[in-house]
Amino acid sequence: MKEYSLYINGRFEKAALSREIINPSSGEAIARVSMADAGTVDYAIRSAREAYDKGPWRNFSLDKRRDLILELSEKLLGKARELAEVESLNSGKPIKETTFMDIPSSAQTFRHFAENLKFYLEPETIEIKSQAGRAKADLIHGGRGVVGLIVPWNYPLLIASWKMAQALSAGNTVVLKPSTSTPLSALELAEIVDELDFPKGVVNIITGKGDEAGKTICTNKYVDMVSFTGSNEVGKRIMGYASESIKKLIMELGGKSASIVLEDSDLDLAVNGSLCSIFLNQGQMCTATSRILVSDKIYDEFRDKFTQRAKSIKLGQAMDFQTQMGPLMSEAQRRRVLSFIDKARREGLKILCGGKIPESPALKKGFFFEPTVIEGKGAESFLFREEIFGPVAVIDKFSGIGEAVSLANDSDFALAGCIWSKDKDKAANLAKDICAGTVWINTYGMFFNELSYGGFKQSGFGKELGKQGFLEYTSLKNVITDQTQNGKSLVNYWYGF
Ligand code: NAD
């Protein structure tokens, strides 16, 4: 069983405490990782601080910074197969997903921000003429300093790569903390970083408990910014911790997104797309459209087809390329999903399929759960409001576009949404009325490094990716030079003689 250490100040360090990492497909231990205590996290933060304030990193030319991050992307691709296996073994995500999505997308994100950092950081000059005089302002984007990156378990390497690619390309130093349950791909990333010429302390990757290691990152005054993706419960706590030293925050939190299926949709496409949008990664996606709202004109047909197709999804071991749905990430996550199903039963909701642990002996040892479709009973139901984070779709009907919009927007969250219609103009108009950071029309789950992503309301604030996301990791400085004609600047008139 492989043992992983912490990566601090350019060295691998073993902690006094360690933890077993479980394969959710089998329930068996697959690795052991060090668990950093608060003092060790402080040391990682001090290393990142020193590297930012005094190390050679800040004097790297932008070309040198770009080349190093490009090398990281290449090395990551070179290890793609191994990384896909580690990710699937650790998270239960089917190997087809990690091979074709998570790992290549992670490498591509490093590449994108390396290749574009010069363009994104391009300083701007503004000539200003005002009553106060004339000035030239140079707008300069610098790094923010030490950035704490705290990531969840559902896309372990991908979300870590989003954050790290942007933070490093912007010139920061980082302390990355993966989830306690799925740290292996981030620790593999540490091994890749170690092979490259990053100055010591620029990249630190530590594993540890959220309420100790994570909390220390958020309370330590030498951390300038925290980029967090995770639950609302933890997000609220982090906002409290970070307020002590007024840190810049990015908060990517939960969702309860809606899919709207219009009567003129291509039904097969809408069914296939809706299956992807709730059952990919076992429904453990912040953008999962767990509320499927269907026009009453086609409701019965959609419901029957969708349920039939959900029943035929192939559950299996994450490492099997034929598997369409793997296990949930942990036993605790499965208990949580089961508690929602129990509540749905108590509320008298109709479970159209699934709602239980599969009986197949081949799946007995892992944390599997059947794809589940439940018929909703209006917006008041808890199923309509609460994020389940599992393979549970609730479907409901609407009787006109107005009702579809008000149902879709009737949520504390506003992360994403889907619209299914053959009429692209109608769909585009409808998209304007949906309160969500991303709306997909006739597709689901397309993320692009060029496009900023992030939600509204209780789905959080701040953006990731794209130019806007990248600039979150920078600080904007105005350098203002007086240009008043005849050389006499305004201040001269106040105290000049
Ligand atoms: P979580 O909030 O439990 O944990 C996220 C991270 O925070 C982990 O690394 C954890 O160790 C750390 N943490 C826990 N307690 C902490 C504390 N007190 N201080 C600092 N850090 C702490 O989330 P999770 O269960 O890993 O992930 C699932 C959640 O993430 C869901 O709610 C999902 O919607 C959300 N999510 C959101 C997005 C998005 O882009 N909006 C993407 C993926 C996941």
| pLDDT, tens digit, 9 for 90 and up, residues 261-274 | 999 999 999 999 99
Strand order in the sheet with 291-295: 350-353, 372-375, 392-398, 291-295, 258-261, 416-420, 438-441
Q: Return the residue whose CA atom lies nearest to atom 23 of ligand 1.
A: 230
- Looking at residue 493, its pLDDT comes to 76
Q: In the predicted model, what is the mean pLDDT of residues 174-196?
A: 98
Q: Which of 35, 286, 453 to mutate to test the pocket of ligand 1 (most atoms within 8 A of CB)?
A: 286
- Is the confidence at residue 223, as pLDDT, over 70? yes
- Looking at residue 290, its pLDDT comes to 97
Using alpha carbons, list the distances in angstroms from residue 62 to 57, 68, 134, 327, 484.
10, 10, 31, 43, 33
The model carries a pTM of: 0.97
| Beta-bridge partner residues of 6 | 13
Q: How far apart are CA 279 and CA 285, in angstroms?
A: 9
| Distance of CA 231 from the midpoint of ligand 1 (Å) | 4
Catalytic site includes residue 403: no
Q: How far apart are CA 189 and CA 192, in angstroms?
A: 5
Q: Are 261 and 274 in contact (CB under 8 A)?
A: yes
- Is the confidence at residue 245, as pLDDT, over 70? yes
Q: Return the residue whose CA atom lies nearest to atom 40 of ligand 1.
A: 252
Q: Where do we find the tokens 């585009």?
A: 428
- Please tell me what DSSP assigns to residue 400: S
Using alpha carbons, list the distances in angstroms from residue 416 to 326, 331, 406, 409.
24, 28, 15, 11
Q: Return the residue whose CA atom lies nearest to atom 32 of ligand 1.
A: 231
User: Out of 87, 188, 252, 387, which one is annotated catalytic?
Assistant: 252
- Please tell me what DSSP assigns to residue 21: E
Q: Are 28 and 327 in contact (CB under 8 A)?
A: no
Q: How far apart are CA 355 and CA 274, in angstroms?
A: 18
Q: In the predicted model, what is the mean pLDDT of residues 110-119?
A: 98
Q: In the predicted model, what is the mean pLDDT of residues 165-182?
A: 98
List all residues 6 or more positions away from 41 whose beta carbon is below 8 Å from its beta carbon: 175, 206, 208, 212, 213, 216, 217, 220
Q: In the predicted model, what is the mean pLDDT of residues 347-366?
A: 96
Q: Where do we find the tokens 């799946």?
A: 363
- Is the confidence at residue 496, as pLDDT, over 80? no
**Range(s) within the chain of domains with CATH label 3.40.309.10:** 258-441
Q: Which CATH superfamily is domain 258-441 in?
A: Aldehyde Dehydrogenase; Chain A, domain 2 (3.40.309.10)
Q: Are 228 and 179 in contact (CB under 8 A)?
A: no
**Range(s) within the chain of domains with CATH label 3.40.605.10:** 2-253+459-479
| Distance of CA 77 from the midpoint of ligand 1 (Å) | 26
| Token digits of residue 356 | 């239980």
Is domain 2-253+459-479 annotated with CATH 3.90.870.10? Answer: no
Q: In the predicted model, what is the mean pLDDT of residues 430-442?
A: 98
Q: In the predicted model, what is the mean pLDDT of residues 463-487?
A: 93
3-state DSSP call for residue 125? strand
Summarize the chain as % helix, strand, coil (round to 5). Answer: 40, 25, 35
Q: How far apart are CA 306 and CA 374, in angstroms?
A: 11
Give the start-end residues of each E strand in 151-276. Answer: 173-177, 203-205, 225-229, 248-252, 258-261
- Is the confidence at residue 497, as pLDDT, over 80? no
Q: How far apart are CA 338 and CA 134, in angstroms?
A: 67
